[in-house]
C-alpha cells in the first residue's frame, strides 16, 4: 500500500512504525472473513481493511471525525485479523497508534469521558475493586439474574496448603480484578506448580498489567503501570541467588500485554532493556504446564488409574483471543485437559471473540451481547457440562449469559491432581 504521511508524523517513532505496517498491507481482504465486527455489521469500515484505511487517512492529514473514532472504538482488538493475514500486518500496533491520534483530535461527550476515566481509575485499584465486590456479593440476591451470574460467590477455600520451598521459582502476576473476581485461579495454579516442584512467589508492588489504561487510550498512564511492574519484578529477576526462571500469568489478557512490554517501551532509554527481558521471561500458565508434560503425565496417569470408574466430564474450551491470536498459543491447553481425563466437546468457529475484550463489554454493550450469544451457541452445540477458558474477562462475561459454570481450566487440572 502506498502512503504519504504528513510531515509532522512521518519521522516520529509512531509515524515510522505506522508507515511500515501500512505498507505491509496488500489490501487483499482475507481478514474480512474472520473479523467479528464485520460479520455482525457488514460495513467495510468495521473491518480490519476499512479501519486500516481510516488510520491511513488520519496519518495522511485528512480530517478525523467522530465517525472515524466510532469505527475504531468498535474494534475488539481481538486480532483475529492478524492470524488470518497472509502479509503479517501488525494490525494491533497500528490500531493503538490510530486510536491514540483520534483521541487527541476528537473530544468525547462528558458522559463517555467520565465513564472511560472511571473505568481506568477504578478497575485497576485492587482495594476499591475488592470493596466493590464485597458489596456486590451482599446485594447479589437482589440483582437481576444476568448480573447475579457474573458475581460469583466468594469461593470457600477448602484446600489450604503450605507452599514447599523448591529450587525452581517463578513470579506470578496477581493482576487487578482477578484476585477479587476469581481468587481460586491463581491458588489453583500455585498448587499445580507446587506439584511440579516449582515455587510461586509474588511481588507485592506489582499490579494491573497496564492494558486497561493503554487500551482506553490513556497510553502514558498504561506505560507507567508497566514501568511500575518492571520495577517490582526486577529484583527477583536479577538476584544473584536463585533468580526467577519465568513470570507466569494466568489471565491471557494480561499475558499478551506483558509479552508486549519490550515493544511498547522500546524507545524508553531507562526501561527498554529491562522491558525486553521481562517480556522474554513471561509465560502464560499453559506454556509452563505444557513444558512440564514429562513430569505431569505420570502424575495424571496415577490419578486416572485410581479414578478410572469416574466418567469423564464433558467440557467445552473457549480459547480467548489474547491466547490464540495475541500470543499465538492455540492448541496448548486442550491436550492437557484431555490427558487429565476430560472429554472436549466440539466448538463452532473457535476463532471468534466472545465479546468480552477488556472494557468492550461495558463500552459497546450491544455488540458485545450479540457476540456473547453467538459464542454461547457455538460452545454448547454438544451439550457440555461446563465451559472452561483461560482469561478472567472471558470467564465472567460468558458466565453472565450461561446457566452452568464457566471456570478457568487450571482449576480443573488442580482438582484432578488433588482428587
What's the closest the beta carbon of residue 209 comes to ligand SF4, in angstroms?
19
Q: Does 333 bind ligand SF4 (CB under 6 A)?
A: no
Binding ligand SF4 by CB under 6 A: which of 45, 54, 89, 319?
Answer: 89
Query: Which is nearer to ligand SF4, 80 or 254 (by Cβ)?
Result: 80
Q: Does 78 bind ligand SF4 (CB under 6 A)?
A: yes
Please report, as residue ranges, which positions from 202 to 241 form the binding site for ligand SF4 (by CB under 6 A).
none
Per residue in 391-404, is it b (16+ CB within 10 Å) or e — as a string?
bbbbbbbbbbbbee
Binding ligand SF4 by CB under 6 A: which of 6, 87, 104, 418?
Answer: 87
Query: Which is nearer to ligand SF4, 29 or 335 (by Cβ)?
Result: 29
Query: Which is nearer to ligand SF4, 75 or 329 (by Cβ)?
Result: 75
Query: Which segments of 156-260 does DSSP mark as H helices, in order?
Result: 178-181, 184-195, 211-215, 219-238, 252-258
Query: Which is nearer to ligand SF4, 35 or 337 (by Cβ)?
Result: 35
What is the contact mask toward ligand SF4 in residues 91 to 110, using x (rule: CB under 6 A)? x-------------------
- CA 359 to CA 376: how far, in whole Å? 19
Q: Does 76 bind ligand SF4 (CB under 6 A)?
A: yes
- Whether residue 203 contacts residue 232, with contact meaning beta carbons closer than 8 Å, is answered with yes
- CA 311 to CA 327: how far, in whole Å? 33
Q: Does 149 bind ligand SF4 (CB under 6 A)?
A: no
What's the closest the beta carbon of residue 9 comes to ligand SF4, in angstroms?
21
What's the closest the beta carbon of residue 172 comes to ligand SF4, in angstroms?
28
Binding ligand SF4 by CB under 6 A: which of 20, 28, 33, 362?
Answer: 28
Query: Which is nearer to ligand SF4, 212 or 278 (by Cβ)?
Result: 212
Choices 81-89, 98-106, 205-213, 224-232 (CB under 6 A): range interacting with ligand SF4:
81-89
- CA 280 to CA 260: how far, in whole Å? 9
SS3 annotation, 384-417? CCEEEECCHHHHHHHHCCCCCCEEEHHHHHHHHH
**Which of the 8 DSSP states describes residue 262?**
H
**Residue 173, number of CB atoms within 10 A of its CB:** 26
Q: Does 365 bind ligand SF4 (CB under 6 A)?
A: no
Binding ligand SF4 by CB under 6 A: which of 54, 81, 212, 329?
Answer: 81
Please list the residues that pair with 231 across neighbouring strands. none
Choices 45-53, 234-242, 268-276, 293-301 (CB under 6 A): range interacting with ligand SF4:
45-53
Binding-site size for ligand SF4 (CB under 6 A) equals: 24
- CA 177 to CA 207: how far, in whole Å? 10
Binding ligand SF4 by CB under 6 A: which of 14, 17, 51, 226?
Answer: 51
| Strand residue runs (E) in 339-385 | 343-344
Query: Which is nearer to ligand SF4, 182 or 257 (by Cβ)?
Result: 257
Choices 30-38, 55-63, 208-216, 376-384 (CB under 6 A): range interacting with ligand SF4:
30-38
Q: 3-state class of 143 per DSSP?
A: coil
Per the structure block, which three cell numbers stand in for 22?
501500512
Per the structure block, which three cell numbers stand in for 333?
491447553
Choices 71-79, 120-128, 146-154, 228-236 (CB under 6 A): range interacting with ligand SF4:
71-79
SS3 annotation, 7-62? HHHHCCHHHHHHHHHHHHCCCCCHHHHHCHHHHHHCCHHHCHHHHHHHHHHHHCCC
Query: Contact positions toward ligand SF4, by CB under 6 A?
Result: 25-31, 35-37, 48-49, 51, 75-81, 85, 87, 89, 91
Amino acid at each position: 500500500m502506498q502512503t504519504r504521511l504528513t510531515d509532522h508524523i512521518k519521522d516520529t517513532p509512531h509515524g515510522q512504525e505506522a508507515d511500515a505496517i501500512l505498507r505491509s498491507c496488500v489490501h487483499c481482504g482475507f481478514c474480512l472473513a474472520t473479523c467479528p465486527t464485520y460479520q455482525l455489521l457488514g460495513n467495510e469500515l468495521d473491518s480490519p481493511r476499512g479501519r486500516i484505511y481510516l488510520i491511513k487517512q488520519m496519518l495522511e492529514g485528512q480530517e478525523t471525525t467522530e465517525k472515524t473514532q466510532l469505527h475504531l472504538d468498535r474494534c475488539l482488538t481481538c486480532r483475529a485479523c492478524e492470524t488470518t493475514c497472509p502479509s503479517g500486518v501488525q494490525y494491533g500496533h497500528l490500531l493503538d497508534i490510530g486510536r491514540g491520534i483520534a483521541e487527541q483530535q476528537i473530544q468525547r461527550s462528558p458522559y463517555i469521558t467520565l465513564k472511560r476515566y472511571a473505568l481506568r481509575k477504578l478497575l485497576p485499584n485492587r482495594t476499591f475493586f475488592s470493596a466493590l465486590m464485597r458489596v456486590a456479593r451482599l446485594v447479589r440476591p437482589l440483582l437481576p439474574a444476568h448480573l447475579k451470574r457474573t458475581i460469583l460467590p466468594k469461593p470457600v477455600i477448602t484446600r489450604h496448603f503450605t507452599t514447599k520451598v523448591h529450587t525452581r521459582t517463578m513470579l506470578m502476576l496477581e493482576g487487578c480484578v482477578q484476585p477479587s473476581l476469581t481468587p481460586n485461579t491463581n491458588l489453583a495454579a500455585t498448587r499445580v506448580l507446587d506439584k511440579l516442584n516449582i515455587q510461586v512467589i509474588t511481588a507485592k508492588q506489582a499490579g494491573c498489567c497496564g492494558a486497561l489504561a493503554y487500551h482506553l487510550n490513556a497510553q502514558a498512564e498504561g506505560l507507567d503501570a508497566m514501568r511500575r511492574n518492571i520495577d517490582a519484578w526486577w529484583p527477583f529477576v536479577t538476584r544473584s541467588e536463585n533468580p526467577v526462571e519465568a513470570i507466569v500469568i494466568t489471565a491471557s489478557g494480561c499475558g499478551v500485554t506483558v509479552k508486549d512490554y519490550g515493544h511498547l517501551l522500546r524507545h524508553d532509554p531507562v526501561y527498554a532493556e529491562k522491558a525486553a527481558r521481562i517480556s522474554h521471561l513471561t509465560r502464560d500458565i499453559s506454556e509452563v504446564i505444557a513444558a512440564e508434560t514429562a513430569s505431569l503425565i505420570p502424575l495424571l496417569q496415577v490419578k486416572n488409574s485410581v479414578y478410572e470408574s469416574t466418567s469423564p466430564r464433558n467440557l467445552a474450551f473457549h480459547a480467548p483471543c489474547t491466547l490464540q491470536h495475541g500470543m499465538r498459543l492455540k492448541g496448548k491447553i486442550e491436550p492437557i485437559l484431555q490427558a487429565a481425563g476430560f472429554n472436549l466437546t466440539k466448538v463452532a468457529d473457535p476463532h471468534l471473540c466472545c465479546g468480552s475484550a477488556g472494557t468492550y463489554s461495558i463500552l459497546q454493550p450491544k455488540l458485545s451481547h450479540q457476540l456473547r450469544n453467538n459464542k454461547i451457541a457455538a460452545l454448547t452445540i454438544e451439550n457440555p457440562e461446563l465451559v472452561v477458558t483461560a482469561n478472567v474477562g472471558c470467564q465472567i462475561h460468558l458466565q453472565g449469559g450461561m446457566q452452568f459454570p464457566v471456570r478457568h481450566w487450571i482449576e480443573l487440572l488442580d482438582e484432578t491432581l488433588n482428587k
